[in-house]
Amino acid sequence: MSSDVLIPLKRIEIVIDEEALGKLLGLLRTAGVRGYTFINHAGGLGSRGERRPDDYGLEEKNAVVILACEEKQAERLIMTLRPRLKEFGGMCLISDCQWVIGPAVSY
């Protein structure tokens, strides 16, 4: 597809302990991120064991944050986020993606 339809960007997916979501969103603002999506009450299996948001006895929840940005902004974000990842727990993934040009740009 042509460049008048798609914009190459970096996709960043961050999975953290739900209690750290507010701090992470603050870091995103500090790094100049203009748009993101977050999903609360995520579960899974990782370095902190199994997270089961539907287990009422021991509710341990993750949050997932997804965003797309230009490469330089991704670098700024990772340099801001990396020192805090151990504190937040979870993981951060970066991949190449393409933004379909549409109504509003929030990257």
> What pLDDT was estimated at residue 89?
77
Does residue 1 lie within any of the structural domains? no
Q: State pLDDT tens for residues 5-26.
A: 899 999 999 999 888 999 999 9
**Alpha-carbon separation of residue 42 from 5, 19, 52, 77 (angstroms):** 33, 12, 8, 22
Residue 83 lies in a domain: yes
pLDDT recorded at residue 48: 64
Question: pLDDT (tens digit, 9 = 90+) per residue, 23-54?
Answer: 999 999 988 898 999 998 776 666 665 666 56
pTM: 0.83
**Cβ atoms of 2 and 100 closer than 8 Å:** no
- Domain encompassing residue 43: 6-100
Instruction: Give the per-residue pLDDT at 87.
Output: 83
In a domain, 38, yes or no: yes
Q: How many domains does the chain have?
A: 1
Q: Find the CATH number of the domain harbouring 71.
A: 3.30.70.120
Q: Is residue 39 part of a domain?
A: yes
